[in-house]
Structure 1
Amino acid sequence: MSDLPVTPLLDIVANPADLRKLKPAQLRQLADELRAETISAVGTTGGHLGSGLGVVELTTAIHYVFNTPEDRLIFDVGHQCYPHKILTGRRDRIRTLRTGGGLSGFTKRSESEYDPFGAAHSSTSISAALGFAIANKLNDKPGKAIAVIGDGAMSAGMAYEAMNNAEQAGNRLVVILNDNDMSIAPPVGGLSAYLARIVSSRPFLGLRDLAKRVARKLPRPLHDAARKTDEFARGMAMGGTLFEELGFYYVGPVDGHNLDQLIPVLENVRDAEQGPILVHVVTQKGKGYAPAEAAADKYHGVQKFDVITGTQDKAPPGPPSYQNVFGETLAKLADTDTRICAITAAMPSGTGVDKFAARHPDRAFDVGIAEQHAVTFAAGLAAQGMRPFCAIYSTFLQRAYDQVVHDVAIQNLPVRFAIDRAGLVGADGATHAGSFDVTYLATLPNFVVMAPADEAELVHMTYTCVCHDDGPIAVRYPRGSGTGVALPETPERLEIGKGRVVRQGKKVVILSLGTRLEEALKAADQLDAKGLSTTVADLRFAKPLDEALIRKLLTTHEVAVTIEEGAIGGLGAHVLTLASDTGLIDAGLKLRTMRLPDIFQDQDKPEKQYAEAGLDADAIVETVLKALRHNSATVIEGARA
């Protein structure tokens, strides 16, 4: 406990109502204590650091000025919400972040009334806030909706779709653009801060509103001239013309770390009769913590770390991560194939595309948080004879499903999908789990869907993707390190739709897809020890299935079990359909499917998540025993006899 920061002001703030009792002169100290508490908490648990440190003052100011939770505060993505959680009654649990049974690393409706809308994906905040604002308007209820969106999230089209529809919300909607990277506007100085305060004031907004109403009554040429003059003057002084065209009153830029600037501007915005209003706030990622300021990328998401030195805990040396195996393999293959391109949506290091970009910068494309564009861009490249790899997390590819269907599958274009973070992902929880990709891809005509059992198989599958020019192909692989197998010097082109038997038995067969193969082999050891000779097959392909192999295995074993790291509708459903279509079900086959449960699982260590999901070796054994309609004692006794 002696390592905890000294926080006398923060100690008396249990919720935003307590915060609003403080004097403005006390807010600077409170923000400093809040920053220290955030650093201490993340040092204990790991998690997102730089983004939260960048909005300490902004979060403090919003809760001080607005009447939360009646005024709805909605964070985009939500990874910057740790200071918000500390101020809204969850400080006593802040050191349980991202752990089993602990606080979510993002906003979550079930966690607090101060989290009105859950988020972990990008660019949803303005649409959601508009919904809250219009609902209040229709029901004549008080309360504003405040969306805090980062400049990176503004690269997604959904943000602009929402802004284009936001004018009818009026002054009930406030959008705060947290500019911490793109430097949309010139540097914030005294003049721009002064201008921001002036243009957000009620007299100025009222004057502009009056001028607009008068201008509408002028003859068309004079009206157009007046409008252009107003836009030109504001654009020259401050920027923001784009947002004004979308129907917002633009205010800014404002120094997001200067409470003396933030508070009066937000008070003006709160009290404005015009709207909607966009406040452009400039912040610095990692603000107030030197290691994070010096390396914003490395301190965006961190492991546990020493608060004094900033040194992060490192995992012991081990096998390479799947993402790096993919990135390095693709980079090597691109040395001799100039048609290979790599596309990612704001996740170059998370997908391994950074490895590719280091060797082939002219063929690596980071399109920002724009998965829909990434997929159709890849489709265009493929149609023109290139070999594009679209490297996107499974959970983020969901955002581009229409493009996958309409722009890729229907046209049978050879886009290669490298789907990272397949299966359960640990601390990031349900929002980032790759639970559905096999289901939503293997149902599409023309698609090939693969899953490697280990990192060596990923090398072969990456090469297979390169060689496959007959339509779309996807390879899905998990987060984290591989199994430690040796990587092949020369990759092999796999025959499409062909699996392999990795262990031969007689009574039970386990049909595995992906990295559950290791658990399947452990289960086979246990079953063999019980006298149940077990075959294990690595199917490799969810689509097309190796029908000949599956039919052979189903007809030569008494019990068959499929296992996969995905939701219902994936491999198990396809094998069941095959068994039904070929009459094997009628023959009395004992076929069981094991897949993720029909729930959204909360964060925990991956091994615990899979155990809870019933996808480990013990669960496989239990499934087999139940299928045989024996308890373990009966089976063992019968085996001995």
Structure 2
Amino acid sequence: MLIHVHTQKGRGHSLAEESPHRYHGVSPNNGKVKDNGHSFSQVFGETLVELAKQDTRIVGITAAMRDGTGLGPFAEAFPDRFFDVGIAEQHAVTLAAGMAKQGLRPVVAVYSTFLQRGYDQVIHDVALQRLPVVIAVDRAGVVGDDGATHQGVFDISFLRAVPGLTVLAPRNGGELSAMLAWALQQSGPVAIRYPRACTANTAAGAPLAPSGAVAPVEVKPGRDGVVFTFGPMVDVALDAANSVEPELSFAVVNMRTLKPVDGDFIRGVLRGKKYVVTLEDHVLAGGFGSSILEILQETGAGESLLRVERLGYPDEFIPHGSIERIHEEYGLTAPQVAQVLREIASGRTLQVIVSGDA
């Protein structure tokens, strides 16, 4: 006997029945309407619309996540340049490759966890062919209530292993807009990862950005050590570094570009420092912190001794829970990072690197 059940999303709740795409995933209903502000996804979608007005080659692609990825405004403004391939991430990436081969500038918007399904296509159909495809990696980092299957904590590890692929991470909406404009000017593939979060500096429709939009920047100087980080974790690092002043003075670096890592910049900012901390909303295995360690091992840091601590997620699946709760559980809040800065300066270290000039 075969039972074929046709489900209806939101059955019994009129708002969900009328707009099922807006109720793909919801938090518990407490009877209150919450203003979540402007999200990275919204900034992405609004910026893409403005850029597409200037360049008719730009097309948008999604795999059944039009509104979740912020592509709703683009789909409405350019219905003939918008492609929803359904739940088929592999096809979305291959379609983008074919379009790029024919001279278009495709942008694939996909959640970090779902990009795992299209990884083979990223390697063989996009990167190997050196095609100008932009991959907008939404929900990068922990996503909260969607649970372990949706945590976007592996993409840096698997994307930075792909030759020729540039990986960017904006701190806020302004950086996201600039990075998207920059990415669409490139001759090869670019991935831009950003979290499920609201963002400050939501300037959309930014003018085409110079290469400075993706260059690393020291947002706070320091004499004793450096915290290397990216994305919204920059603000966590700033709060932590400021809280240990004046006893300790840590610089904070917003890397912006996670691949390729600017080794010369790292060597320069580490000159005269004793401590290195890396901070990421991502697994430690093969992640951002690993890339910093690789640079230090390969090129040297110009110092005889550096104490290094990497902060991120251990080798385990991250469970269900709010983003705030998960960050606290894994030691990624500003007070917890500040405590690590104090401890590394007092002698407790995860790893010691002995390195000289390359």
In structure 2, the CA distance between the partners of 1:549 and 1:428, relative to structure 1 (3 Å rule), is same
* Paired AA for residue 162 in structure 2: L
Partner of residue 291, structure 2:
574
**From 239, 249, 252, the counterpart of 1:522:** 239
Summarize deviations over 1:329-368 as a string: whole Å, max 9, x none: 0011000100111100000001011121111111111000
Q: CA deviation at 1:289?
A: 4.1
Partner of residue 277, structure 2:
561
1:629 aligns with 2:346: yes
Q: CA deviation at 1:298?
A: 3.7
Distance in 1 (CA, whole Å) between partners of 2:130 and 2:313 is 30
Q: CA deviation at 1:608?
A: 1.4
Whether contact under 8 Å (1:460, 1:494) holds in the other structure is no
* Paired AA for residue 514 in structure 1: G
**From 296, 309, 316, the counterpart of 2:35:** 316
* Paired AA for residue 286 in structure 1: G
* Paired AA for residue 302 in structure 1: V
Q: Which has the higher strand share?
A: 2
1:505 aligns with 2:222: yes
**From 590, 595, 620, the counterpart of 2:337:** 620
Trace 1:252-291 onto structure 2 (pairs within 5 A): 269=1, 278-291=2-15
Distance in 1 (CA, whole Å) between partners of 2:60 and 2:198 is 22
Give the unaligned 5+ runs of structure 1: 1-268, 270-277, 307-311, 632-641
In structure 2, the CA distance between the partners of 1:331 and 1:385, relative to structure 1 (3 Å rule), is same
SS at match of 1:348: coil
Q: CA deviation at 1:556?
A: 2.4
Partner of residue 605, structure 1:
322
**From 541, 546, 552, the counterpart of 2:257:** 541
Trace 1:343-358 onto structure 2 (pairs within 5 A): 343-358=61-76
SS at match of 1:563: strand
SS at match of 2:59: strand
Trace 1:167-566 onto structure 2 (pairs within 5 A): 269=1, 278-305=2-29, 313-316=32-35, 318=37, 320-469=38-187, 471-482=188-199, 484-485=200-201, 487=203, 490-491=206-207, 492-495=209-212, 498-529=215-246, 531-566=247-282
Distance in 1 (CA, whole Å) between partners of 2:216 and 2:46 is 25
In structure 2, the CA distance between the partners of 1:585 and 1:591, relative to structure 1 (3 Å rule), is farther
Whether contact under 8 Å (2:47, 2:204) holds in the other structure is no
Q: CA deviation at 1:396?
A: 0.2
* Paired AA for residue 257 in structure 2: F
Distance in 1 (CA, whole Å) between partners of 2:229 and 2:222 is 15
Summarize deviations over 1:112-132 as a string: whole Å, max 9, x none: xxxxxxxxxxxxxxxxxxxxx
* Paired AA for residue 226 in structure 2: V
* Paired AA for residue 287 in structure 1: R
In structure 2, the CA distance between the partners of 1:303 and 1:387, relative to structure 1 (3 Å rule), is same
Q: CA deviation at 1:373?
A: 0.3
Q: Which has the higher helix share?
A: 1
In structure 2, the CA distance between the partners of 1:348 and 1:375, relative to structure 1 (3 Å rule), is same
Higher alpha-carbon Rg: 1
Distance in 2 (CA, whole Å) between partners of 1:432 and 1:423 is 9
Distance in 2 (CA, whole Å) between partners of 1:292 and 1:473 is 35
Q: CA deviation at 1:604?
A: 1.4
Q: CA deviation at 1:283?
A: 4.5
Whether contact under 8 Å (2:278, 2:309) holds in the other structure is yes
In structure 2, the CA distance between the partners of 1:328 and 1:438, relative to structure 1 (3 Å rule), is same
Distance in 1 (CA, whole Å) between partners of 2:120 and 2:205 is 38
Whether contact under 8 Å (1:395, 1:433) holds in the other structure is yes
Summarize deviations over 1:476-508 as a string: whole Å, max 9, x none: 0000211x2252663323348620111112112
Q: TM-score, normalised by structure 1?
A: 0.52
Give the unaligned 5+ runs of structure 2: 349-358
SS at match of 2:281: coil
Summarize deviations over 1:389-438 as a string: whole Å, max 9, x none: 01000000001111111111111111100000000011112110110111
Whether contact under 8 Å (1:496, 1:544) holds in the other structure is no
**Larger RCO: 1 or 2 (CA < 8 Å, sep 6+):** 2
* Paired AA for residue 280 in structure 1: H
In structure 2, the CA distance between the partners of 1:379 and 1:589, relative to structure 1 (3 Å rule), is same
Distance in 1 (CA, whole Å) between partners of 2:316 and 2:39 is 28
Q: CA deviation at 1:376?
A: 0.6
Provide the aligned length of Structure 1 versus Structure 2. Answer: 346
* Paired AA for residue 628 in structure 1: A
Partner of residue 355, structure 2:
none
Distance in 2 (CA, whole Å) between partners of 1:616 and 1:450 is 23
Q: CA deviation at 1:380?
A: 0.6
SS at match of 2:313: coil
Distance in 2 (CA, whole Å) between partners of 1:458 and 1:493 is 13
* Paired AA for residue 577 in structure 1: E
Distance in 2 (CA, whole Å) between partners of 1:561 and 1:363 is 44
Whether contact under 8 Å (1:303, 1:314) holds in the other structure is no
Partner of residue 264, structure 1:
none
Summarize deviations over 1:109-164 as a string: whole Å, max 9, x none: xxxxxxxxxxxxxxxxxxxxxxxxxxxxxxxxxxxxxxxxxxxxxxxxxxxxxxxx
Whether contact under 8 Å (1:507, 1:559) holds in the other structure is yes
Trace 1:19-58 onto structure 2 (pairs within 5 A): none
- CA RMSD across the alignment: 2.0
